[in-house]
Amino acid sequence: MGWGVVDKEAELKRLMLRGLDGDPVAWRVLLSELRAALTPFFRRRLAGCEADAEDLVQDCLIAIHAKRATFDRSLPFTAWAYAIARYKLIDHFRRLGRRADVPLEEASVLLAEHTVEDGVVRRDLKKVLSILPLRQRRLIEDVRIGGFSLAEAARRNGFTEGAAKVSVHRSMKTLSASVSTDED
Amino acid sequence: MKTDDLIDALAAGLEPVRPARLDPALLAWAGGAAAVAVVLLLGARSDLAQALQAPTPWLKAIYTATLAQAAIWAAMRLGRPGVDPRPALFALLALVGAAVTWGGIETALKPPDQRMAGWLGQTWDVCGLNILLVSAFAGPLVFLSARRLAPTRPTAAGLALGLASGGLAATAYGLLHCGEATAAFVATWYTLGIAAAGLIGAAVGRFALRW
Provide ipTM, 2 decimals. 0.86
CB contact under 8 A, A67 and B81: yes
Kindly report the length of chain B.
211
Average pLDDT, chain B: 94
pLDDT tens by residue, B95-117: 999 999 999 999 999 999 889 88
Q: What is the DSSP string of A169-181?
A: HHHHHHHHHHHHH
Stated pTM of the model: 0.78
Residues of chain A with C-beta less than 8 angstroms from the C-beta of B7: 28, 31-32, 35, 61
The C-alpha atoms of residue B100 and residue B102 are separated, in whole angstroms, by 5
Q: CB-CB: which of B17, B79, B80 is closest to A20?
A: B17
The C-alpha atoms of residue A172 and residue B34 are separated, in whole angstroms, by 73
pLDDT at A59: 94
CB A58 within 8 A of CB B1: yes
The C-alpha atoms of residue B44 and residue B36 are separated, in whole angstroms, by 10
Q: Give one word for B121, left, alpha or beta, with left for phi > 0 and alpha for psi -120 to 50.
A: left
pLDDT tens by residue, A141-160: 777 766 677 888 888 888 88
Q: Is the dihedral of CA A178, A130, A140, A133 positive or negative?
A: negative
The C-alpha atoms of residue A57 and residue A88 are separated, in whole angstroms, by 9
CB A143 within 8 A of CB A168: yes
pLDDT tens by residue, B196-210: 999 999 999 999 999
Q: What is the DSSP string of B184-199?
A: HHIIIIIHHHHHHHHH
Helix orientation angle between A24-45 and A53-66, rounded to the nearest 10 degrees: 140
Q: What percent of chain A stands above pLDDT 90?
A: 34
